[in-house]
Amino acid sequence: MARDMARDMAPDVTTANSARAPLSRFLRWDVLVGVLLVLVFAGGAAGSPEFANAGNLSFALGDLGEIALIALAMTLLVVAAEVDLSVASVLGLSSALVGHLWDAGWAIETIIPLVVVVGAACGLVNGLLVTRLGLPSLAVTIGTLALYRGLAQVVLGDRAIAEFPQSYVNLTVNDVPGTPIPYPVALFAVLAVITAVALHATGFGRALFAIGAQVEAAHFAGIRVKRIKLVLFVISGLVAAFAGVVYTLRYGSARADNGSGLELAVIAAVLLGGVDFDGGKGTLGGVIAGVLLIGLLRNLLMLNDVSTEIQSVVTGLLLVISVITPRLVAVARQRRRVPSPVMPTPPTT
């Protein structure tokens, strides 16, 4: 058998690039983002005395809660080569509904589940348009981005509703006793672990990567591509609506324009975390690093009194950089690709 192998060892040089140098294992994008995160943290701590104390970090984390939650669902979608740009609008619609219903005298215990169901329905609409009509999700969710934000304005107009029950507000701003971790962040941590396991260790996750990398092969392997994508959009809408509840309570203010533009921060975090916008590649660890990096940068900019306009410029730059850099790296690799031999090793049993 060894002779057979030697005979057929394939010096097909254009593709033989399998032996990955040990160094490049550390040059993985998500690892680099992790390193960058540490550097930004250290730089922030050195440059600004208010930065590295528990109070500020707790605030920075809390301020990040909604982005972080939505980024989990967005990661699943982008890995499967889809995207949901309507998340911030669903958040806004959710906030408007919370305000309107609270103002109308509904119990908060009824409002929250109802709003989350409405969010799931928003996601279902996105999912049906994408899977049944075969439309690109980028186009569909740009449309529903405007639609859901418009509905939010129909529901609440220019009003701002405040004075929500303190016990619920506390849940969104207080820290878990004995830690500097706000409750929403603790919830994020739990959901992040669940998402990481689902993405990287279950059949569902394997299916997502296969769909994102080669949707036809996934279909031919008996994976229910449409159903899975539909579920992802529903999850995305559901999470965005829940994030809308947290946002509303945390700021103590329900407004139709809450969270405008948040989808860009979410997508920037996901792409910065190394998830390929074309699908099929990425790690949840990278996304968490990406979320934290964006959060720290926003916090640093705020501490240094940088205007929100400039903050938005930074978010945009990060988004562009995280899309461009992997392409540049890929091109550079291709240029100086020195193929290594595919050495046949007898499989050990």
Q: Which is nearer to other proteins, 214 or 260 (CB)?
A: 214
CA distances from 63 to 182, 243, 255 (A): 10, 12, 17
Q: 301: which residues sit within 8 A by CB, 6+ positions away? A: 310, 311, 314
Q: What's the CA gap between 151 and 102, in Å, rounded?
A: 17
* Span of 216-224, 243-251, 256-264, 316-324 interacting with other proteins by CB under 8 A: 216-224
Is residue 1 near other proteins by the rule CB under 8 A?
Answer: yes
Is residue 22 near other proteins by the rule CB under 8 A?
Answer: no
For residue 153, the tally of other CB atoms under 10 A from its CB is 15
Number of residues that bind other proteins (CB under 8 A): 48
Beta bridge partners of 62: none
DSSP, collapsed to helix, strand or coil, labels residue 201 as: helix
* Span of 62-70, 89-97, 212-220, 250-258 interacting with other proteins by CB under 8 A: 212-220
* Span of 34-42, 176-184, 213-221, 300-308 interacting with other proteins by CB under 8 A: 213-221
Identified binder of other proteins from the candidate list 193, 217, 324, 332, rule CB under 8 A? 217
DSSP, collapsed to helix, strand or coil, labels residue 156 as: helix
Is residue 213 near other proteins by the rule CB under 8 A?
Answer: yes
Identified binder of other proteins from the candidate list 148, 164, 188, 209, rule CB under 8 A? 209
Is residue 13 near other proteins by the rule CB under 8 A?
Answer: yes
Q: 7: which residues sit within 8 A by CB, 6+ positions away? A: none
Is residue 223 near other proteins by the rule CB under 8 A?
Answer: yes
* Span of 102-110, 210-218, 241-249, 309-317 interacting with other proteins by CB under 8 A: 210-218
CB of 77 to other proteins, least distance (A): 18
Q: 111: which residues sit within 8 A by CB, 6+ positions away? A: 97, 98, 101, 102
Q: What's the CA gap between 327 and 320, in Å, rounded?
A: 11
Q: Which of residues 319-348 bind other proteins (CB under 8 A)?
A: 338-345, 347
Is residue 252 near other proteins by the rule CB under 8 A?
Answer: no
DSSP, collapsed to helix, strand or coil, labels residue 161 as: strand
DSSP, collapsed to helix, strand or coil, labels residue 335 as: helix
Is residue 282 near other proteins by the rule CB under 8 A?
Answer: no
CB of 297 to other proteins, least distance (A): 31
Q: What is the DSSP string of 38-61?
A: HHHHHHHHHH-TTTTSHHHHHHHH
Q: Which is nearer to other proteins, 160 or 198 (CB)?
A: 198
Contact 94, 240 (CB under 8 A): yes
Q: Spell out, one character per residue from 167 to 206, where the chain touches other proteins: x when CB under 8 A holds, - when not.
A: ------------------------------x---xxx-xx
Q: Residues interacting with other proteins, by CB under 8 A?
A: 1, 4-5, 7-19, 197, 201-203, 205-207, 209-210, 213-214, 216-224, 280-281, 338-345, 347, 349
